[in-house]
Amino acid sequence: MAKLSILDLVRVHENGTPRSALEDSRAMARHAEALGFERFWVAEHHNMLGIASAATSVVIGYLAEATNRIRIGAGGIMLPNHAPIIIAEQFGTLAQLYPDRIDLGLGRAPGTDQPTMRALRRTLSNSDNFPQDVVELQAYFSADQQPGLIQAVPAAGTEVPLWILGSSTYGAQLAAYLGLPYGFASHFAPDMLAAALTAYRSQFQPSPHCPQPYAMVGVNIIAADSDAEARRLATTQQISFTNIFRGTRGLSQPPIDDIEDYWSPVERVQAQRMLARSIVGSPDTVHAGIQALLAETSADELMIVSDIYDLTARKRSLEIIAESMQVAHDEVVAA
């Protein structure tokens, strides 16, 4: 059966603070661990008031300290924003503190706007160096350090697992060429999911890090005890996507009774296209949706985004998702 993992957005709520968002993320990581999820990732976003994970490696340390088994990682670090040696030092330190529990997903996009890129002292041209930067990063983590070369202390020998993340065939082809696991961001860019998975699997070259293709699929799942309640909870994410189109990104908003009162017809089309792979509903609906997605993609793992305003409702969503996967597992065993 496919593994289940969580991508937490560390949302800052309308009535919350960055600290409360981080505390909620820690509570979610503990809950995910108790439910048996494989990993819990956070992502690098800059200049966004509604997301508290900009200092991604610091947040990962905070979450890893509060948990015991679940893998904690970045989904992802936007490598064009950083010198590879800095990321190696940060994640090598994390791996020393939390052995065999740290993941490093890597993205090629800057994950922010151009003024913020200038503040980061980076440029768009850094994206052109992404393949070379990934290889450099691998070398820093390797136990086979060449004498006389620069070392990222204390990364050497930690062998932190690297993932290539993307929303097009570019990342899929790079992951295949380097023999690395691949994660596709269909939770916000679903259009090229099938093409990217085909490219990755057909072009994959085995490596010591990954002897066979390993594909992770990102998916929004909003689960509740009824379809109607799940649809209502999902309006928080729909509002967030609508605000992106309006250029008014802000704090996470509570759910509303009728999303049609909020977005325009054009915004609705835009948002629904980006959220086309979402699974929203009751336990039965979620179970059917997960089974259909796995049948279509043969994903080795699902990376779930459950962007729900209320912490208790978000925890319940994870419980339903975990229960749905257990039902699927039992059905396979019984068949």
For the ranges 85-94, 113-122, 237-246, the lowest mean pLDDT is seen at 113-122
Cis peptide before 80 (omega within 30 of 0): no
User: Where do the domains of the chain lie?
Assistant: 1-160, 220-335
Residue carrying structure tokens 């305003």? 309
Q: What is the pLDDT of residues 262-300, one digit of tens each?
A: 999 999 999 999 999 999 999 999 999 999 999 999 999
Residue 122: what pLDDT? 66
DSSP string, 124-185: GGGGGGHHHHHHHHHHHH-S-PPTTS---TTTTT--PPEEEEESSHHHHHHHHHHT--EEE-
- Check whether 117 has a pLDDT greater than 90: no
144 band by pLDDT with thresholds 50, 70 and 90: confident
When pLDDT is averaged across residues 208-218 and rounded to a whole number, the result is 96
Residue 198: what pLDDT? 98
- The CA-based diameter of the chain, rounded to the nearest angstrom, is 64
**What CATH superfamily classification does 1-160 receive?**
Luciferase-like domain (3.20.20.30)
Torsion sign (Cα): 224, 229, 233, 239: positive
Residue 329: what pLDDT? 61
- Check whether 335 has a pLDDT greater than 60: no
When pLDDT is averaged across residues 86-98 and rounded to a whole number, the result is 98
Between the alpha carbon of residue 149 and those of residues 87, 134, 136, the distances in Å are 17, 17, 12
Beta strands in the chain (DSSP E): 3-8, 39-42, 71-78, 102-107, 162-166, 182-184, 215-223, 279-281, 301-305
For the ranges 53-67, 107-121, 162-176, the lowest mean pLDDT is seen at 107-121
- Check whether 235 has a pLDDT greater than 70: yes
When pLDDT is averaged across residues 170-184 and rounded to a whole number, the result is 98
With beta carbons less than 8 A apart as the criterion, state whether 188 and 274 touch. Answer: yes
pTM of the model: 0.95
